[in-house]
Amino acid sequence: MNTSIRMSVTDCANYLGISKSAAWRLVKSGQLPSLEIGKRIILNRADVDDFITRHTRPAVEASTVAAQIFRKAV
């Protein structure tokens, strides 16, 4: 994997584990900041990492999940 601080949209898609078209949608919608140089789109890895941080859900304790499942079953 490319460890550069800059990456292409394809590299970003691979880094996030999503399709290239999904990565393009994130760039076009402005959710992932990018730099356009000619016809090339460049992303900063720090911006991609910030995106991950902003969209990461907090962990839920297993006992909480079990309690929710139990309540639904009863």
pTM for this prediction = 0.71
pLDDT category, 7, cuts 50, 70, 90? Answer: very high
The token duo for 22 is 């999904």
Spell out the residues 6+ positions from residue 16 whose beta carbon is closer than 8 angstroms to its own: 23, 48, 52
pLDDT of residue 28: 95
Q: Which CATH architecture has domain 6-73?
A: Orthogonal Bundle (1.10)
- Helix 9-16 to helix 20-28 angle, to the nearest 10 degrees? 110
User: Burial level of 43, CB count in 10 A (0-12/13-18/19+)?
Assistant: buried
Task: Encode pLDDT of 19-67 as tens digits.
Answer: 999 999 999 999 999 999 999 999 999 999 999 999 998 876 666 666 6
Residue 13 pLDDT more than 60? Answer: yes
Residue 74 pLDDT more than 60? Answer: no
The full set of domain ranges for the chain reads 6-73
